[in-house]
Amino acid sequence: MNSNLNEMLQGENEMDLKIPPPIFLDMEGEVLDSGENFMKIRFPVKERYQNPFGYMQGGMLVAAMDNTIGPLSFMVAPPNVTTQLNISYIRPVTAETPYIIVEATVKEQTRKMLFIEARALNPEGKVLCLAQATHQVL
């Protein structure tokens, strides 16, 4: 399922927000699949994202995770804000990696909070990093 993020979040923009956000567009995210409590997005790995070792810089991995967790959170409980985001790096994203896929799932939802888990995978399906996010519903 190849969907446009703007269409998926249509009608959820009562606060005149930039959806999709400019960073999502800059990172060229492509929604591969989504459902009630999950989202799967592919991001190309670009040379300009490399750190001095030639690996994808950790902050860009976090940006890809955030660019998946954030849209998912707005599909589930708009508006909300991230209050905590924890990342665990498992293996590097090398210059030979053409893209990463980020999968995010809402694990728990209360009236005022969302708890989301995500993982970034390389094309072979190996886990690159894991994330846990907490969002406060406004």
Cα angle, residue 55 at apex, residues 66 and 30 outer, rounded to 5°: 40
pLDDT digits (tens, 9 = 90+) for 77-135: 989 999 999 999 999 999 999 999 999 999 999 999 999 999 999 999 999 999 999 99
Q: State which residues form the domain around 94.
A: 5-137
Whether pLDDT at 52 is above 80: yes
Give me the pLDDT at residue 45, please: 98
CATH number at residue 56: 3.10.129.10
Give me the pLDDT at residue 1, please: 42
Give me the pLDDT at residue 15, please: 67
- The total domain count for the chain is 1
Neighbours of 32 (CB within 10 A): 15
pTM of the model: 0.89
Helices (H) and strands (E) in the chain, counts: 3, 6
